[in-house]
Amino acid sequence: MTRLEGGMSFQAPTPAQPLKIGTRGSPLALAQAYETRARLMAAFDLPEDAFEVVIIKVTGDMIQDRPLKAIGGKGLFTREIEEDLLAGKIDIAVHSMKDMPTIQPDGLSLDTYLPREDVRDAFISPTLGSIAELAQGAVVGTSSLRRRAQLLNRRPDLDVVEFRGNVQTRLKKLDDGVAECTFLATAGLKRLGRDDVPATPVEPEDMLPAVAQGAIGIERRTDDARMAEMLTAIHDTPTGQRLAAERAFLEALDGSCETPIAGLAVLQGDQLHLRGEVLRPDGSEALNGERKGPISEGAEMGKSLAKELLERAGDGFFDWHEH
């Protein structure tokens, strides 16, 4: 038995009965699973072989030739993993929080977050250092509807093309001349240790990131008291406070892969500053707003900001949104 502070105890995982960590199979997903494992090992003084990393194939990784919105949206990166979690094939699931729908399936809880990495987007180009350096009509590759809309809002002249795949795939496409630049999350490059990538961080003032970008979430079965206890030891409270505001904003906007939405919460002492943005997919219009207030009111601020932007948008703004 392993004893936690406060006297609670549980059966610790062992090499004979390892804790099974479910994840996608991409290099970045594996890096996030290994970080989770390392934090649990350190928190409970456990050996590496007390854990088993289980790779689960998900639809979003298997279909690479079509935009996400054409094949079903965000759940494509989580559905199969969550099915295995509910079935007891794995004990926890590790996710990139920006891929996660705002509503959990019945029986699953997502309330553990690791310390958040750099939230910024990264401008990736072998020859250029910023968006401003792109020539008129330059070809830009991205699979993100948010990035596409933000780019076209600033630079309607750009030719934005679909650009899916993991970090390695996208870098090869750049080398092959498919596009002059692309964008990746700075957090992903840092977690992969890819200092070799020609990346320039883009400040949030220039490109507000995706909701929850840079954050790793750990999902468990709601009724699994053992996992709830263990995960408490590695949960990062400030990250949770920021995501509470950002994800409340996203949920109130009915956010999905068809909706270009950006949001970022920053803690300033005991205050939280939330910025949000919604855009038309073609970038022809962008609406921005912000809220500041006590950290404890983060979720309420998220809902309030979403309500304001919806009201300012009016009926016509969301005509393109598919329900």
Q: Do domains 2-114+214-235 and 121-202 have the same CATH topology?
A: yes
- Beta pairing partners, 139: 159
Pick 121-202's CATH classification: 3.30.70.890, 3.40.190.10, 3.30.1360.180, 3.90.1720.10. 3.40.190.10
CB-based contacts of 177, cutoff 8 Å, min separation 6: none
**Looking at residue 73, what is its pLDDT?**
55
pLDDT in tens, 278-308: 999 899 999 999 999 999 999 999 999 999 9
* pTM of the model as a whole: 0.89
Query: Tokens in use for 57?
Result: 């194939």
Residue 118 known to be catalytic = no
Burial 121-144 (b: 16+ CB within 10 A, else e): bbbbbeebeebeebeeebbbbbbb
**Looking at residue 63, what is its pLDDT?**
53
Collapsing DSSP to helix, strand or coil, 233 comes out as coil
- In the 3-class helix/strand/coil scheme, how is 257-279 assigned residue by residue? CCCCEEEEEEEECCEEEEEEEEE
**Looking at residue 65, what is its pLDDT?**
53
- In the 3-class helix/strand/coil scheme, how is 159-205 assigned residue by residue? EEECCCCCHHHHHHHHHCCCCCEEEEEHHHHHHHCCCCCCEEEECCC
Averaged pLDDT, groups of 10, the chain, 323 residues long: 53 95 94 98 97 88 54 68 96 94 93 98 94 96 94 96 82 90 94 93 97 98 97 98 97 74 97 96 94 98 96 75 40
Catalytic residue, candidates 61, 65, 84, 99:
99
**Looking at residue 259, what is its pLDDT?**
78
Helix (H) or strand (E) holding 288: strand 286-294
CB-based contacts of 183, cutoff 8 Å, min separation 6: 121, 122, 123, 124, 142, 144, 147, 202, 207
pLDDT in tens, 4-42: 444 446 789 999 999 999 999 989 999 999 999 999 999
CB-based contacts of 126, cutoff 8 Å, min separation 6: 174, 175, 198
What residue spans define the domains of the chain?
Answer: 2-114+214-235, 121-202, 246-313
**Looking at residue 76, what is its pLDDT?**
67
**246-313 maps to CATH 3.40.50.150:** no
**Looking at residue 171, what is its pLDDT?**
84
Query: Tokens in use for 214?
Result: 């840079």
Query: Tokens in use for 312?
Result: 């300012």
CATH assignment, 2-114+214-235: 3.40.190.10
